[in-house]
Chains A and B, each alone.
Chain A
Amino acid sequence: MEQKTKVHAEDGKQDLTITREFDLPVELLFKAHTEPELIVQWKAIPNTTAKILKFAGMKHGSYQMQSTDSQGKIVSSVHGVIHEFIPNRKIIRTFEVENAPIGVQLEIYDFEPLTDTTSKLNMHVIYESTAIRDQVMKMPGASGYTMGMAHDRMQEIMNKLK
């Protein structure tokens, strides 16, 4: 089956784009990315619990998120700062997985309305180098497949809020 979440990475570049169309009005798509109670539901890696330690969704804001396994052990810790925050349109932020050798990335999220009930997410992710981007793409957690599964979960969760 073809993945609905598409990752496009040109050879030799240090960035990539991710696109996905959702059966959701753009307002709900944006909400799924900015309401902590919703984020933890779809972002959590299977068999872990995600917790938002900080989420200041605004220009010059920041965020911090942690995932723990069933024994309460921290399996991942991520954080970043929010450069730009335009409701229902755009978020520009940094992202870093702590204690991982993959540097800091700049992420640009564009939220695009298609119709009254459908919308598209356009992500542009820029890494510190081509080598780091290529390394990230080999990690199971960062592949389009995993991202696609998270997006599937988001679609399902947000369907209930329509």
Chain B
Amino acid sequence: MEHKTKVNAEDGKQDLTITREFDLPLELLFKAYVEPEIVAQWMGTRVLKLENKKHGSYQFETTDAKGNVVFQSNGVIHEFVPNRKITRTFEMENAPFGVQLEIYEFEKLTDGTSKLNMHVIYESAGLRDEVLKLPFAQGLNMVHNRLQEIASKL
């Protein structure tokens, strides 16, 4: 089955774009990215910090059933325009992928549908390609499916 989340990565470039259309009003899609309790549900992570504002920052941590930390990430928020745009940095801690610049654009399609346009820029083409070797597109599609499901109930 074709993934609803599309990843477009041109050869030799150090950036990529990700797009996904949701059956959610724009405001609800945006809410899913900024309300800690909702973020925690679809991302399957603990939200230790999420300051939704220009010059804010965030920190996520995921633990396994035994309470061991399996994933940590953090970043700073450069720009925050409600229902429109978030520009932030992202780093997976203790991973060799460096820091990335992420630009999220939230676009209204109809009253009941919206589109997420992400532009992710890595430190190098090599690092981007390493990230793409992970089950990246598939993983994103899965979490976006979960976002759709969870936000639909709101």
A residues with a Cβ closer than 8 A to B are 13-15, 60, 62, 79-84, 92, 94, 96, 104-106, 108, 124, 126, 128-129
Contacts and interface: CB of A to CB of B under 8 A. Distances in A.
| Dominant secondary structure at the A interface | strand
Contact of A92 (B15, B89, B121, B124): B89
Given A14-B14, A62-B76, A81 B55 contact: yes
Contacts of A60: 57, 74, 76
A102 to B, nearest CB: 13
A103 B74 CA distance: 22
B29 interface: no
Contacts of A124: 123
B57 A81 contact: yes
Interface residues of B, number: 22
A104 B99 CA distance: 14
A78 to B, nearest CB: 12
Contact of A83 (B14, B75, B124): B75
A106 B121 contact: yes
Interface string B116-141: 00010101100000000000000000
Nearest to A127: B121
